[in-house]
Chains A and B, each alone.
Chain A
Amino acid sequence: MTPLPTTALSGDAVVLCSFFVLLVPLAAGGIALINTGLGRSRSAAHSMLSSLCVVAIAAIVYFLCGSAWQGFAGRPAHVFLFGGREWSWLAAEPFFLRGLRVEDSAATLVVLLQMFSVGLAALIPLGSGADRWRLGARCASTALLAGWTYPLFAHWVWGGGWLAQLGSNYGVGRGFIDAGGSGTIQSLGGLSALAIAWILGPRRGKYGRNGMPAAIPGHNSVLVLFGSMLALVGWSGLNISGAILFAGSEPARAPSIAINTLLAASAAGMAVVLLTRFRFGKPDASLAANGWVGGLAASSAGCALVTPASALLIGLMAGVLVVFAIELLEWRLTVDDPGGSIAAHAVGGLWGLLAVGIFARFPGQRPYSAYAPESGMSGQWLAQLVGIATLLGLMLPLIYLLNWLLNRVYPLRVAAEGESQGMDLHELGADAYPEFATHTDDYGQH
């Protein structure tokens, strides 16, 4: 779906949208709390400081070059001709946001939303690399994400790139649709988390010689669950502002988008609570938080295009998928992901993208009548599958390659003694909880 030119927003819409964009950092705060709570207590301060640094680096790098490569719909871009059609693959904006006119408040709003969004995407891998990923390497990896991989995919989806043009160029539905970022933010971040978990390897003591995983519970469920609640507020802002800016939704639809977001998260969270209650005898708090976030991730893509009942179903399915994905990753595939980032964000996000093709209903909204009046719903599932295939088949190898090269010149993993000592003492010289500073390497000894 080709996004609207940003100048199409009215003054009132800009004001309303500004409010929702400013809620987005709460999602980042929520994810930071979840990642910290699900990690060990001896790495808690390191985790929170990393989150702060990652958000800062992401914003700076996006300002320096990411925005130039993502660009805006309807603005100059690098294109190549293939089969008589133009493929827009990279924006051609000047660096340092020099092409941004301050009086164009809508375009500025898009840039602000993207600065928050890229920070949110960069926070996701911190969960899978918890307790063993060095601070400097986290910042370097974030620079790669914010400067290259995120803007590249975001241009294809939100900047009028070739995925958005699938409908107008090849008649594949209305082009790839991802209003709130299930693919661009969540799946991209989740796949980065997978690449990081592969490169880092599991924590010391996580897997015994027989390959069985040891349980290493998170150190603070309160942080995790409060982070989940906080994420809901931020996600509502993200979905509403994304739908207005990238899917052409009317600002009047904001309450219905918020309802869809809440319903998806609630259904996912409750699905996990009930599932773990029946399978393990008691509800699992950390899995419930992962399920909740999975529901939020799944809600984003079609937040403005599905009915509340569909949003409930999308969330329900996301919760079930997250539980089984976490088990599959930990037990069968030996991927150590302390924060559950891969299952919640990558699996939840990919399901959300597919769900658009299944559940989306298109009213007579502006972008569809203005840009693709002839295209129908028949090929929408195909457009969504092409987007999913691009994330898995192109972006995942690219993300892995970039981080693998980074690891060759600047090792990502902390030394063994640092992992035993804890990231707080090893890298920061002070614990998050000095009054409880009696660390025994309980899990590392097994």
Chain B
Amino acid sequence: MKLAGFLLLLAGWGIVIAACILLVPATARGLFVLAGLGVELLGLALVFRSHIVLRGERG
């Protein structure tokens, strides 16, 4: 889960960069940047979650 979270963080950043490079219209660019940030937040939530689970497993 932790690895998936970090990969999602990187994927989100990739979306943000791609939006800046590939899109010109401000609205589309803004929406894709927000989407990239959303993916990053999902990744962050997974990494946080993985640390909670690991702590619980250790008891």
Q: Which residues of A contact B (CB under 8 A)?
A: 82-83, 166, 170, 172, 198, 201-202, 207, 209, 211, 333-335, 378-379, 382, 385-386, 388-390, 392-394, 396-397, 400-401
Known contacts A334-B51, A385-B37, A390-B13; 4 further A-B pairs (Cβ under 8 A): A211-B56, A386-B20, A392-B12, A396-B44
The answer to whether B13 and A389 have CB atoms under 8 Å apart is: yes
With A333-B52, A382-B33, A397-B10 as given contacts, are A389 and B21 in contact (CB-CB < 8 Å)?
no
A239 CB, min distance to chain B CBs, angstroms = 27
Q: Pick 26 A–B contacts, CB within 8 A, sort by A.
A: A83-B21, A83-B22, A170-B21, A198-B47, A202-B55, A207-B55, A209-B59, A335-B51, A379-B26, A382-B26, A385-B16, A385-B33, A386-B16, A386-B20, A392-B13, A392-B44, A393-B9, A393-B13, A393-B14, A393-B40, A393-B43, A396-B44, A397-B6, A397-B9, A397-B10, A401-B6
With a cutoff of 8 Å between Cβ atoms, the chain B residues found around residue A389 in the complex are 12-13, 16, 33, 36-37, 40
The answer to whether A393 and B51 have CB atoms under 8 Å apart is: no
* Residue among B16, B22, B44, B52 with most chain A CB within 10 A: B16
**Residues of chain B in range 28-59 having any CB-CB distance to chain A below 8 Å:** 29-30, 33-34, 36-37, 40, 43-44, 47-48, 51-52, 55-56, 59
Task: Report whether over half of chain B's contact residues are helix, strand or loop; otherwise say mixed.
Answer: helix
With a cutoff of 8 Å between Cβ atoms, the chain A residues found around residue B48 in the complex are 333, 335
Nearest residue (CB) in A for B50 is A198
B7 CB, min distance to chain A CBs, angstroms = 9
What are the nearest 7 A-B pairs in CB distance? A393-B13, A389-B16, A397-B6, A393-B9, A393-B40, A393-B12, A333-B48
Question: In the docked arrangement, what's the CA distance between A145 and B47, Å?
Answer: 21
The contact of B52 among A334, A382, A385, by CB within 8 Å, is A334
Nearest residue (CB) in B for A393 is B13
A419 CB, min distance to chain B CBs, angstroms = 15
Question: In the docked arrangement, what's the CA distance between A410 and B14, Å?
Answer: 32
Nearest residue (CB) in B for A171 is B24
Question: In the docked arrangement, what's the CA distance between A334 and B51, Å?
Answer: 8
With A333-B48, A379-B26, A382-B33 as given contacts, are A392 and B40 in contact (CB-CB < 8 Å)?
yes
Question: In the docked arrangement, what's the CA distance between A237 and B36, Å?
Answer: 35
The answer to whether B33 and A386 have CB atoms under 8 Å apart is: yes
The answer to whether A400 and B56 have CB atoms under 8 Å apart is: no
Question: In the docked arrangement, what's the CA distance between A394 and B29, Å?
Answer: 20
The contact of B10 among A83, A211, A386, A394, by CB within 8 Å, is A394
With a cutoff of 8 Å between Cβ atoms, the chain A residues found around residue B52 in the complex are 333-334
Question: In the docked arrangement, what's the CA distance between A209 and B44, Å?
Answer: 25
B26 CB, min distance to chain A CBs, angstroms = 7
Question: In the docked arrangement, what's the CA distance between A401 and B3, Å?
Answer: 11
With a cutoff of 8 Å between Cβ atoms, the chain B residues found around residue A390 in the complex are 13, 16
Question: In the docked arrangement, what's the CA distance between A390 and B9, Å?
Answer: 9
With a cutoff of 8 Å between Cβ atoms, the chain B residues found around residue A386 in the complex are 16-17, 20, 33
B53 CB, min distance to chain A CBs, angstroms = 10
Question: In the docked arrangement, what's the CA distance between A390 and B13, Å?
Answer: 6
A176 CB, min distance to chain B CBs, angstroms = 11
Question: In the docked arrangement, what's the CA distance between A378 and B26, Å?
Answer: 9
The answer to whether A396 and B9 have CB atoms under 8 Å apart is: yes
The answer to whether B29 and A382 have CB atoms under 8 Å apart is: yes
With a cutoff of 8 Å between Cβ atoms, the chain A residues found around residue B56 in the complex are 211
Question: In the docked arrangement, what's the CA distance between A385 and B13, Å?
Answer: 11
B8 CB, min distance to chain A CBs, angstroms = 9
Question: In the docked arrangement, what's the CA distance between A373 and B10, Å?
Answer: 33
With a cutoff of 8 Å between Cβ atoms, the chain A residues found around residue B21 in the complex are 82-83, 170
With a cutoff of 8 Å between Cβ atoms, the chain B residues found around residue A401 in the complex are 6
Nearest residue (CB) in A for B5 is A397
With a cutoff of 8 Å between Cβ atoms, the chain A residues found around residue B13 in the complex are 389-390, 392-394
Question: In the docked arrangement, what's the CA distance between A211 and B52, Å?
Answer: 9
Question: In the docked arrangement, what's the CA distance between A396 and B13, Å?
Answer: 11
B33 CB, min distance to chain A CBs, angstroms = 5
The answer to whether B26 and A392 have CB atoms under 8 Å apart is: no
Nearest residue (CB) in A for B51 is A198
The answer to whether A170 and B51 have CB atoms under 8 Å apart is: no
Question: In the docked arrangement, what's the CA distance between A435 and B13, Å?
Answer: 53
B58 CB, min distance to chain A CBs, angstroms = 8
A139 CB, min distance to chain B CBs, angstroms = 25
* Residue among B22, B44, B51 with most chain A CB within 10 A: B51
Nearest residue (CB) in B for A170 is B20
Nearest residue (CB) in A for B29 is A382
The contact of A393 among B16, B20, B22, B55, by CB within 8 Å, is B16
A427 CB, min distance to chain B CBs, angstroms = 24
With a cutoff of 8 Å between Cβ atoms, the chain A residues found around residue B17 in the complex are 386
